[in-house]
Structure 1
Amino acid sequence: MNNIFKFLRKPLTTVVSASQQVPRRFFASPPKRFYKRTSVLCNDGKYEVTLDSRKLKTPNGTLFTVKSEPLAIAVATEFDAQKEHIERSKMHLSALCFTAIDNPNRHTKTDMVNYVLNYIATDTVLFQYDDEKELFDLQRNEWDPIIQWFNERYGTNLQKTMVMSPPNVSADDKMKVSKYLLSHSEDVLFGFIFAVDTLKSVLLAFAAIDQRISVEKAVALSRLEEEYQSKFWGRVEWAHDLSQQELQARLAAAVLFVHLNRSEHFVKEKLIV
């Protein structure tokens, strides 16, 4: 997972990705599976995960609790799916939950929203080039509908750029996206950012979370240029396939995390656009 909070402009604070917020020991050499079964408990309206008789805790030692029962079940399923060793680096839902619970660097909603706003100017789908007609036609046919949908959905006026200079993102556009994001809980914002980091695109992440496009389609669109170039330079089957599957797994986790948390922490004053 890449540095998802490396701001292009001066940030309010330094923020890092979900995987980087989890202590290094969480991604050390895989430990052996020490439990036989997992289960979910309800305690005072919150849900916990147990590994045999032990209650699951975060890397910082905080008791794992979430308000969404389906989310707790999903995390328990990730742990239950482990074989002889626990491959934590592939447990994306668990990592997202741990990050949201521990928030080790004490990131605020403003930090997270500012990241997304600054990321728009580097969004993959807003950079198109007409140097190569076949590639440009592909970008226009596949990416332009996403730009149009985003502008209609969020009332923005984002425009693609045909040069190396980043597209102009107006203060009004930022305000509208900011207002939408601020209507969510901090937990949900961690999921949004995980999706943005996975796809290198705010627009594609929002489209996947809004279920405008499928997870598979969003990943395919994020890899449009890479797949185009592979027609000329060849495709390393196992490497390309693994990369695609990993992106799909990460994005699917982010989308599920957002929806399961949003159903529990939805703000009634949420902006309708």
Structure 2
Amino acid sequence: MNKFCLKKASSNEYYLFYEEKLFNTSKGNKILIPTIKSQTQFIKKINSEFLKKNSNFMQLLFFSNDIDDNKKKNISESILNFIDTDTVCFRDKDKPELLKLQKKRWDNYLYFCKKHFYLDFHINYSIFLKKQKIDIHSKIKKILNKMTNYHLTTFYFLVKTTNSIIISLNILFNDTEAGLAWKDSNLEYEYNKSVWGEDSESKKNFLLKKSFFTDIIKFISFFDKEQYE
């Protein structure tokens, strides 16, 4: 039996109810759901996740509905801090085989960002960090300001999980397959594993991160895709 349901709040938004009562976040905020692809599947997912301990899905749902102006500013600033350290912008010229893979698998992500968002990232081949152009900050900030709370939440955690704004933009706005994006964001990790092997602690952390990434993708799959101008 479904204990959760959605009740219309406006023409295109719904409140989440639990046993006929408004269901709030742990901080007491109402949960407002936009028009989604399948209310039936969404409610089914909520019912299955509700009783799970430390459910990533529920945490993402709460996080999205707890965003106020101050929190949105902090989230945006945290995302912008990844600009100069984006995984895709660092290439290892001392490892020709890895460098070839990086070019083959990462350059398309850069191309999409340049073509559709006019984000002209430069690539670092040196251990000495060369910061990205200042206009990239303002352009990405503009993108973030247009995002819904659900997409901002998703983007924020994708960036933290992949260490890449570039790959995360491709996931949200392009037709990039999530599994491929995950592999590409961990290209250097997989390369080093093939050369040096993998210890149990690294494997455990990698699998935990992968599980969270998968849950993020499942979460945003209920909502309409973001559109770029």
Q: Residue 107 of structure 1: SS of its match in structure 2?
A: helix
| Deviation, structure 1 residue 224 | 0.6
1:166 Cα shift? 2.8
Cα deviations by residue, 1:83-141 (Å, 9 ceiling, x for unpaired):
xx93243332x222211222389413x43333322211111111111111111111121
2:174 alignment counterpart: 211
The alignment partner of 1:89 has SS state of coil
Structure 1 runs not aligned, ≥5 long: 1-35
Hey, what's the Cα distance between the residues in 2 that align with 1:254 and 1:81? 13
Secondary structure, aligned partner of 1:206: helix
Q: 1:60 to 1:233 in 2, by over 3 A?
A: same
Distance 1:186 1:86 in 2: 24
Q: 1:81 aligns with which of 48, 53, 63?
A: 48
Task: Using the TM superposition, give the Cα deviation of residue 53 of structure 1 relative to its aligned residue in structure 2, in angstroms.
Answer: 4.6
1:21-48 Cα shifts (integer Å, max 9, x gaps): xxxxxxxxxxxxxxx5333231332423
Q: Secondary structure at the match of 1:40?
A: strand
Q: 1:144 to 1:206 in 2, by over 3 A?
A: same
Q: Normalising to structure 2: TM-score of the pair?
A: 0.81
Rate the CA distance shift 1:167–1:90 in 2: closer, same or farther, 3 A. Answer: farther
CA–CA separation in structure 2 for the residues paired with 1:141 and 1:261: 27
8 Å CA contact 2:173–2:225 kept in 1: the answer is no
Q: Give yes or no for the alignment of 1:246 onto 2:211.
A: yes
Q: 2:27 aligns with which of 55, 60, 66?
A: 60
Q: What is residue 7 of structure 2 aligned with on the other side?
A: 42
**Alpha carbons of structure 1 residues 177 and 63: separation in structure 2 relative to 1, 3 Å:** closer
Distance 1:79 1:198, change over 3 A: same
Which of 92, 98, 101 lines up with 2:62 in the alignment? 98
Partner deviation per Cα, 1:185-226 (whole Å, 9 max, x = no partner): 444322221221121110000001113311101110111111
Within 1, Cα distance between the matches of 2:75 and 2:209? 26
Whether 2:164 is the aligned partner of 1:201: answer yes
Deviation sequence 1:52-83 (CA, Å, 0-9, x none): 4554221113332323344865553333224x
Q: CA deviation at 1:243?
A: 3.8
**Which of 94, 112, 120 in structure 2 is aligned with 1:157?**
120
Identity of aligned residues (%): 19
Q: TM-score, normalised by structure 1?
A: 0.69
Contact preservation (8 Å) 2:102, 2:187: yes
Partner of 2:99, secondary structure, is helix
Amino acid in structure 2 at the alignment position of 1:100 = S
